[in-house]
Amino acid sequence: MNRELFDLGGSVALVTGASKGLGKSMAQALAAAGADVALFARDVENLKAVKETVESMGRRAEFFVVDVLNKPSIEAAIAGALEIFGRVDILVNNAGVNVRKPVLEITPEEWDLVLDTNLKGYLLMAQAVVPHMVSRGQGKVINMASILGTVALPSQVAYASSKGGVIQMTKVMALEWAKLGIQVNAIGPTYFETPLVAQLRNDPERYNFIIERTPMGRWGQPDELAGVVVFLASRASDFVTGQTIFVDGGWTAW
């Protein structure tokens, strides 16, 4: 195998929601493969820690405090990233939230928070970054979907709706930008042991349900996304676009 296909040396990745959880792990994986990294999130202290980790790997990193629902905030941060790094080759749309409530109980405000953050935030980031990729004739966009974009669970109406939207958004983006040198794909993880699902991990009944439902019999670990995010960010995936790759221990194989 030609290992150079997976080498991200000389490239610049931008990761949203990079301060913790899967975003942190993916930022570190991209840096380990050779990319410099622009870290977008709102948690300054955790952003500083991730920046230090990336720099300890010999890569350049800068962090930006960004609200992905605020277009001026995004545009200012993108301008700052471009000034520092000169370009963005890889966009990882990862920032997200969840409100777990039954259909009859979720409020309009909670619905809007989840759909706006998980779906509109991806759109706004892509609208700000992709024109710069188009001007260079190449780029990779990686959207964070979920198994809940294609399977259903109770009390996940807003999150599942948003992630189903991400899968469809990914396909449309891929179609529109295919001839412009931009590949767009999504990653659909199952339950990974991150702060976002701490409540579920502390609930023995729900924790065990997830283990029982997963053919591999366990939750995912954040670093187990490293391979797929590097693949989708690298030249190895140059003929792959519009796809969602599920990293789910076999959940969606049922």
Q: Do 170 and 197 form a contact (C-beta atoms < 8 A)?
A: no
Pairwise CA distance, residues 88 & 60, whole Å: 13
How far from the centroid of its chain's Cα atoms is residue 129's Cα? 15
Helical (H) or strand (E) element with 163: helix 157-177
Place of tokens 């991209």: 30
Tokens read off for 165: 């939207």
207 a catalytic residue: no
Q: Is 135 helix (H, G, I), strand (E, B) or coil?
A: helix
Short-list 88, 179, 180, 83, CA closest to 134: 180
Catalytic annotation, pick one of 122, 159, 191, 207 = 159
Pairwise CA distance, residues 15 & 37, whole Å: 7
- E runs forming strands in the chain: 12-16, 36-41, 61-65, 90-93, 139-144, 182-189, 244-247
Short-list 170, 80, 76, 182, CA closest to 133: 182
What residues are annotated to the active site?
159
